[in-house]
Structure 1
Amino acid sequence: MDPMNDPSVMALPHPVRLEAATGTAVDSQILGHAAPLAELRPILIDETTPTEALINIVPGLHDLAVHHFGVFSGQGMGTFMLILTRGRLRAHGDPILKVAPTLQGLLAESDLDRGLPSRFFRAPYPLAYVEFARPNPLRLPNRESGMHECEGVYVGSYQLPAEHPTLANPVRNRALKLDPSQPARAVELVITGSPVGKAHAADDASQNLLLLIQDEDECLNTVLERHITFYNDPAAYSSPGMMPLDPAERRTLAPIISELAKVLVYLNLPDAELIPTRERTDLERRLKGLGPKKAARLKRQLGTAYDHILVGPSVEAEHEAGSAGADGEPGAQVRPHWRRGHFRRVRYGEGRSETRMAWIKPVLVNGGSVAAGAVKPKPYVVH
């Protein structure tokens, strides 16, 4: 079967899909036209330069981006930024964080409490790809091919000094309440949509967003709401070479960013479950020394295998049951239902002077009165 139409290839997340479909690292091929990759690597891993700024700083990179406007079917700078971000992830060693289905279901039933600091909106790597569990209700539109299931987000974190060129946009500064004379942390998001159900493995979707944070203690919800409001205003959207968001694109932002925020806050928990999974590395090790027949079968598996870190429990979590009534009276019978979880800061240490993050998981109340699996978390709806 043509790899471009192979369902197992189309189901792969963006960082590995095109390479599996084409047999080559597309990002390395394209970026190699700007400069030798060995020379580009120190720039690609620079933690003070968002991709938005990188395009205008690296000699030849902007010209390369303009050249590829026509190559990528009119998708323009957005597609080039996606390819460039893929190249940056490769330069960082390809950290892929794969959310376990059990965790994603529990996070869907958890809230981000008011007051959680913005500092928790960061990945444990300067740049990582967060792969969502699928199927999920999150959708990302493509203006030509319609709605795509959201498969994940590239998350980059960059420390910007005062007067950085990224802080030189007065429209954005006013909307986001930024002071260009102060340093900021830029969180660059590149959201990707799966090609499953579409024409071929390259028929996907993407959306770029830049979040700028100057007060790490400010409420995360407040910061996210301010940025979503900003990106909901076509007149304010001003990333280089990007078209204003259309209504369908604006509607999909909030649920995707909310889901991502919960994953990132979870990753900041001291007891977050992170399980290294070396699928590709283990297959490559097993291939050494095998004969042609045995090696052929493993090589086919190698085409869709990739190393990643599994985030969250790898088996179904046990549900806690409760017997208290809705008004707290012992023994009162209540209909089985989910009590929503939430993230919050808790005090600990001597004199309870220190704080850390905690996650109060969703609880299935009165779950013992129903058959296992009869009550499921209520799905969040994307309009």
Structure 2
Amino acid sequence: MWNDWAGARATCLDCINELCWQVNQHLERHSRYQRPPGWADSTLAIVARWAANIHFDRKNGALIETTPALDALLMQSDIDGTLPMQWFSPPFDAQYLQLNRATAEHFRTLEDRAKGRWIEGIFCFVSRPGPSENRNEFITVIELMVVYASSDRGISTRLLRGPLLSPEETVMKWAEGILTPESGQRATYDDVLIKLINNMVKVFLYLGLKDARKEVNTEHSVALKRLAGVGPKKQAKLQRCMDSLYDRITVGPATAPAILPAPGATGIRAPHWRRGHFRAQPCGPARSSRKLIFVAPILIHAD
């Protein structure tokens, strides 16, 4: 059954519904993220996290980590408001963006601090569950699951999902759309999630650049292969070491840019960032084409 979740049509929501049904078969099997009778928020969150992990594994997902230096650059950069979704391309059908703890503080509300919780990371799944209305092609659905950790080891999640109906739709309009309820009014906390999604989009845009810096580390996969070729004693030792190993893609430069003098500056000014931005740069014959460029922010120190 779980092999079904590896297909292009499979969604994370399908996996959550299946797990809920397996645990409590009184539910309608293909419900929309139902809460089984008597289940607390924490129970549903644990099942949702399990489902996301299964879906991630079945789709051979990639764990992505960013360097603190890249986080600093992206925090001081903006996305062109007219940038269309066709430029936003998650690198895999399943990925988990692990947040550095210092970066997670930027997406922490007063309520989060009071409850001792923070955003640990965000799953991003891409699927093509079926044809769109009045169209022959299959629609693309992007699902985001925000995962929270807490000081009491509790788990909470939030699943966001939305179809990609038009490649010309702007990235930010799509992000706001999946957070806007039917009433049309967005909760205050959703403003934080908009910033989180914005940060994730910037990471994926950066990964799409030709000169993006990334390092693929497969230490866990390598250890698994070694495990199959050693004796029982070495296997036990290697298994203990494997607890701290994991495959990952580390994205971004190792160091942040140095403080640079502002051109032509004569007065004394405090250090400040000149914000960077992702934008579509005209190029080609008669400047008729567009290519994505990233103008990095610069830390200015005029003295």
> Alignment partner for residue 218 of structure 1, among 156, 160, 169?
169
Could you say what secondary structure the match of 2:101 adopts?
coil
Q: 2:273 matched to 1:333? A: no
The Cα RMSD (Å) is: 3.3
Aligned 1:1-383 pairs, distance under 5 A:
39-41=1-3, 43-53=4-14, 63-64=21-22, 66=24, 69=36, 73-75=40-42, 77-136=44-103, 137=105, 138-139=107-108, 146-163=115-132, 180-182=133-135, 184-195=139-150, 197-198=151-152, 200=153, 203-228=154-179, 230-231=180-181, 249-284=189-224, 289=230, 292=233, 298-313=238-253, 315-319=254-258, 321-324=260-263, 330-335=264-269, 336-366=271-301, 369=303
Structure 1 pair 295/81, CA: closer, same or farther in 2 (3 Å)?
closer
How many residue pairs match? The answer is 287
TM-score (norm 1): 0.65
Distance between the aligned counterparts of 1:114 and 1:320, measured in 2? 28
Gaps of 5+ in 2: 26-34
Q: Structure 1's 155 and 269: CA in aligned 2 closer, same or farther, altered over 3 A?
A: same
For 1:349 and 1:74, how far apart are their aligned partners in 2?
Answer: 53
TM-score under structure 2 length normalisation: 0.80
Worse-superposed segment, 330-339 or 269-278: 330-339
Contact 2:20–2:36 (8 Å) recurs in 1: no
Check 1:82–1:236 CA distance in 2 against 1; reply closer, same or farther (3 A cut).
Answer: farther
Structure 1, residues 177-222: CA drift from partner, whole Å, max 9, x if none?
A: xxx4355321100111124x22x3xx22211101222111122122
1:142/1:159 CA distance change after superposition, 3 Å: farther
Shift of 1:117: 0.9
| Structure 1 residues 61 and 134: CA distance shift in structure 2, 3 A | closer
SS at match of 1:194: strand
Q: Distance in 2 between matches of 1:306 and 1:363?
A: 34
Instruction: Determine the C-alpha separation between the residues in 2 that align with 1:102 and 1:312.
Output: 7
Q: Which amino acid aligns with 2:197?
A: I
CA distance, structure 1, for counterparts of residue 209 and residue 52 of structure 2: 27
Shift of residue 286 of structure 1? 5.9
Deviation digits for residues 85-122 of structure 1, max 9, x if unmatched? 21011112231111122111111111111111112333
Separation in structure 2 between the aligned mates of residue 66 and residue 73 of structure 1, nearest angstrom = 14
Letter in 1 for 2:2: L
Seen in structure 2, the aligned counterparts of structure 1 residues 81 and 318 have a Cα distance that, compared at 3 Å, is same
